[in-house]
Amino acid sequence: MLSNTKTKAEFVTELAHLERMPLGANALLSQAGFTVEDAIGDRWLHLPEWSTLLAYMYRRFGPPNFFGSPDVDFAGKWIVTTPLHDIFVVVAPSPDHGYEQIQFFVSKERFQKLSVAEVAEDFLPKAGELFVSLLEDLERGVKTPRGVINSHGHTENKRNDLPPAAHACRAFPTKLIADDRFVKQLCPAIHALGDGDFVEGQKRAVANLTEGVWNQARGAWRGVREMMVMLARKSDLPVLCAKIDVSMNRAQNLQKSLLGIQEMSAIRDARALDSFREHCAGVTYEDVKQAIRYMNGVGLRARSVNPLDLLRTAEYQDKCEGCLLDLLAENPLDDSQYPPTEVWGSGVYLCDQMGAYFRGIGRADIGSWILTSRDNVPSSDETNEKASDVGREVVCQALLAAFYREGETPVVSIPGSPSAVNSAMNELIKSSPQI
């Protein structure tokens, strides 16, 4: 009997990942004296149009996972799963092939085990059910830039809408896709590397390439290797440290230093800044990029931060805070003139609001300094961000650190639009003591 059936509610069709092509069920049916038409009856009349089916299969599953002869196949084939683990369906959209656009395939093991009686009593009715199950599954919506489609085209039914396929070919260089000469060289080489087994050849090729990257990383200068450690996930540290000859104690110190500099956005910490500056000494942006390339090459994920950007902003924040404290030391504020802690808007508006506040209470020196510092923050060598966009965040943190005394917790966002925030600020300025 056919077993391992998933319930209809649980079943979602997926691409089948097979090491070998399954066997067509036509032969299985013919052995028992049946045809595909006997299995699916008039259900094939409910097939989608081939063109909308083709577009849907590409959008949902990505490129076909099986290609036959261009003389036979119109656009390749998608081998997909069914609720039965060893029966598959091949979807091959074509303007010429009616019900043959969807065909049943069976694993070699199942093909050999099924008797004629089982085909007649079990497989034949099951095939009809699987066909209906697949058609229903292909009605699941897939998101597109202009709405949702299913195998019949655009649909208003957004239930069970799925994301589009994130296929591996997105990582392929365009030249590799446009010119297949390299692939035609590569595939026979991989086949030979696996002694005739393509899957084994893939494993050996990846292992050889990865080991080559490890060797290059191991020979890189200390700054590159320590950037790799700093950017690595904690769970990857044991393998990474062993491969590139960095001690675990050193790795933990590097990651602790990175955490310390990230926390400087809330608390000024000269020791953390000095430690991080020491760890980044001599490192260039090219070193950071090289560290990330090595990590990608060995399959490790790097953190989405750039240590040098963190260092530049932390140094500027420290400088801003020091300048503010110098201004306040030369001409102190009365307690009543300190900015309140409860009415500030989000970070985007904080500099403008605080500049307006200080100009409103007669401290144009502080107000002007805030806006000048915001616009003069050093921009990253690696981004096209405007200095003022970066500066808002950097100077905002320096403002909060300088103006709020120990034990106070400023609230830097309130409900409402920027105009509502500005209205609150205007009322605050009006009620503030004038100098």
Q: Where are the domains of the chain?
A: 23-166, 172-218, 219-305, 320-431
- CA 322, CA 340: separation in Å to the nearest integer? 21
Pure H helices in 236-386: 237-244, 248-263, 270-279, 285-297, 307-330, 347-360, 364-375
Give me the amino acid identity at 140. R
What are the φ/ψ torsions at residue 150 (nearest 5 degrees)?
-130, -165
- The model's confidence at residue 208, banded by pLDDT at 50, 70 and 90, is very high
**Cα-based distances in Å from 8 to 12, 130, 133, 161:** 8, 10, 7, 17
- The model's confidence at residue 401, banded by pLDDT at 50, 70 and 90, is low
- The model's confidence at residue 166, banded by pLDDT at 50, 70 and 90, is low
259 pLDDT more than 60: yes
pLDDT of res. 313? 75
Share of the chain above pLDDT 90, in %: 17
Nearest to 152 by CA among 53, 77, 68, 290: 53
What are the φ/ψ torsions at residue 249 (nearest 5 degrees)?
-65, -45
pLDDT of res. 371? 78
- The model's confidence at residue 394, banded by pLDDT at 50, 70 and 90, is low
pLDDT of res. 15? 85
pLDDT of res. 106? 72
- Residue 12, CA atoms < 13 Å, CB-side half-sphere: 9
Complete edge-to-edge strand list for the sheet that includes strand 153-154: 142-144, 147-150, 153-154
Stretch among 8-17, 52-61, 111-120, 305-314 having the lowest mean pLDDT: 111-120
Query: What is the overall mean pLDDT for the chain?
Result: 75
pLDDT of res. 116? 65
- Radius of gyration from C-alpha coordinates of the chain: 32
**Pairing assessment for the beta strands 87-91 and 142-144 based on DSSP bridges:** unpaired
CB 41 within 8 A of CB 128: yes
For residue 373, give the 3-state DSSP assignment: helix
CB 164 within 8 A of CB 59: yes
Question: 321-343: b or e for each residue (b if 16 or more CB lie within 10 Å)?
Answer: beebeebeeeeebeeebebeeeb
- CA 63, CA 168: separation in Å to the nearest integer? 9
> Of 9-18, 175-184, 304-313, which has the strongest mean pLDDT?
304-313
- CA 416, CA 359: separation in Å to the nearest integer? 24
Residue 32, classified by CB atoms within 10 Å of its CB into exposed (0-12), middle (13-18) or buried (19+), is middle
Residue 378, classified by CB atoms within 10 Å of its CB into exposed (0-12), middle (13-18) or buried (19+), is middle
Distance separating the N- and C-terminal Cα atoms of the chain:
92
pLDDT of res. 410? 43
Q: What share of the chain is helix, strand, coil (3-state, %, to 5)?
A: 55, 10, 35
Q: pTM of the predicted model, to two decimals?
A: 0.55
- Summarised one tens digit per residue, pLDDT across range 49-87 is 888 988 999 889 888 887 766 676 777 788 888 887 777
Once rounded to an integer, what is the mean pLDDT over residues 399-408? 55
pLDDT of res. 288? 93
- CA 396, CA 406: separation in Å to the nearest integer? 17
CB 24 within 8 A of CB 103: yes
